[in-house]
Amino acid sequence: MDPRAGTPAQPSDLIDVDAVVGAYYDLTPDVDDPAQKVVFGTSGHRGSSLDHAFNEAHIIATTQAIVEYRASQGTDGPLYIGRDTHALSLPAWQTALEVLAAAGVETYVDARDSFTPTPAVSLAILRHNGAATSEGVRTSGPGLADGIVVTPSHNPPRDGGFKYNPPHGGPAGSEATGWIADRANEILRSGVGAVRRVSLEEALAAETTRRHDFLTSYVDDLANVIDMEAIRSSGIRIGADPLGGAAVEYWGEIAERYDLDLTVVNPQVDPRWAFMTLDWDGKIRMDCSSPSAMASLVSKMTDPATSGTFDIATGNDADSDRHGIVTPDAGLMNPNHFLAVSIAYLYGGARPGWGEAAAIGKTLVSSSLIDRVGASLGRRVVEVPVGFKWFVPGLLDGSVGFGGEESAGASFLRTDGGVWTTDKDGLLLALLGSEILATTGRTPSQHHAELVAEHGASWYARVDAPASLEEKATLAKLSPEQVEATSLAGEEITAKLTEAPGNDAKIGGLKVTTENAWFAARPSGTENVYKIYAESFVSADHLAQVQAEAKDVVSAALGG
């Protein structure tokens, strides 16, 4: 923990916006350097222009690769494109539009020439492809839409990001991202000068460039997935902090459209994020699940001088696909805790239109409290690998009512059981927190205390351990037979998993469970470490023992 974590950013912490944007245009990546190639992680390609990792050449190549990919898949409908508030998002959005217009792709841009949250792009794709109609969503055939979101999510201000959402509206799978990345790197190597482009002025004026009111479409439809009338009539006071991100205009529109007592705590947009408090490592990061990054909003809720201002407060990251829930009685809730509360509320009678077959979706590193809640409700829990893409099929066909990640990302079905978004929706989950308070009279953190009383308290944490490139590669391909341990922290091991039990997909690591604890180990995609997620329903000391023994189990499996 950096000693300045949670304190206001200082001038020395801020980026030089002109330098970051200038490097986007001036620096050229070296495709022989792996750190400068196009690499799609779980949420697209990310990097900084200053590191030769997110430059104009990357976006030209990646956009052209997407043009070719969508053609190869028969996706010939419109492409919806949005961007967040990072300094590199506008230049990258402009570059992409120049390539899309030259390729003749019908492209819908924001009608307000403003920022667009990731869930609003997902919703636009799905509605074009049939969501909320009697026919249902089409994912094959002519005229299908797809999308691009220009965002590095909660990453620091110096970074840029670029992600692709195919016709199912959610994050692209590895088959698509692998193809796009490989083709983009081929284009980088052969030279982006061969890619057809038009000027920005020509692109904006092109017949194929059209306007879409992402904001109105999203806000007006919210009443079909959240009980907005219950929130309004309750009179609860809501504080919404967009953290300088794409939700800034959306929260104001939501308040006006539904006549809510909602205050946009900080409507400022600054690509330096000078108003932020520093994250745990001393960096500016718009992580709404981090107590350090959310320190300003938390202090408003817990400081005796201002604690009566709001009944509940929320935060979102830069592209608004994550949520943070702040209550007067507990401060910032742990994301796992709010996921469990949301599931207990939604499946406990609040959404009868979902039907009895709608399962609960969780990632394998999310809290086992969700499993215990699911069992008490008689609902099937579908445990999948890390990555929201795994929830897409279930959200599309209604077989999964709610899909959530431990990193504060989730979405769920419309009230009638139809699909809402197939990408994470931070505004939706923030509003759900208000609905829970409005309809039950208790804060989400009070609901969590009730779940703990029923199912037991747990201690959850993630730590990193060093690993070489070879060890990371080995960990990603482990088989259960390579794990020789029979006990963990004094309990018999009940399962050794290298495939997710919910869909049999490879987890790219290992999960070991006992009756009252578990750990999961996954290699980092960006650093020479592996991540150990662990939880204990015994004690904090037992969690520490689980973490220590987890390193021994992994080391032995790796041959150490």
Is there a contact between 483 and 336 (Cβ–Cβ < 8 Å)? no
CB-based contact 396:419 (threshold 8 Å) = yes
Helices (H), 265-323: 295-302
Is the CB of residue 408 less than 8 Å from the CB of residue 288?
A: yes
Check if 153 is active-site. yes
Tell me if 135 sits within 8 A of 419, measured CB to CB: no
Terminal-to-terminal C-alpha distance of the chain: 29
Helix (H) or strand (E) holding 460: strand 459-466
- Number of neighbours of residue 194 by Cβ within 10 angstroms: 9
In angstroms, the CA 45 to CA 236 distance is 40
Both structure tokens of 311: 């009944």
The answer to whether the CB of 421 falls within 8 A of the CB of 126 is yes
Considering just the CA atoms, what is the radius of gyration of the chain in Å?
A: 23
**Which whole-number Å values give the CA distances from 42 to 313, 319, 502, in the listed order?**
28, 15, 19
Phi, psi torsion values for 172, nearest 5 degrees: -65, 145
Q: 């009678």: which residue's tokens?
A: 349
Instruction: Report the C-alpha gap between 420 and 203 in whole angstroms.
Output: 31
Whole-angstrom Cα distance, residue 318 to residue 155? 8
CB-CB contact of 228 with 258 (8 Å): yes
Beta-strand ranges (E) seen in 152-237 are: 159-165, 209-212
In which residue are the tokens 């970074």 written? 159
Q: Which of 399, 396, 333 shows the shortest CA–CA distance to 369?
A: 333
**Residue 426 and residue 323 in contact, taking contact as beta carbons nearer than 8 Å:** yes
Q: Which residue, 392, 419, 391, is CA-closest to 405?
A: 391
Task: Report how far apart, in Å, the C-alpha atoms of 4 and of each of 36, 239, 289 are.
Answer: 31, 25, 18
Q: DSSP letters of 399-429?
A: SEEEEEETTTEEEE--TTS----SS--HHHH
Q: Which of 43, 48, 49, 153 is catalytic?
A: 153
Active-site positions read 153
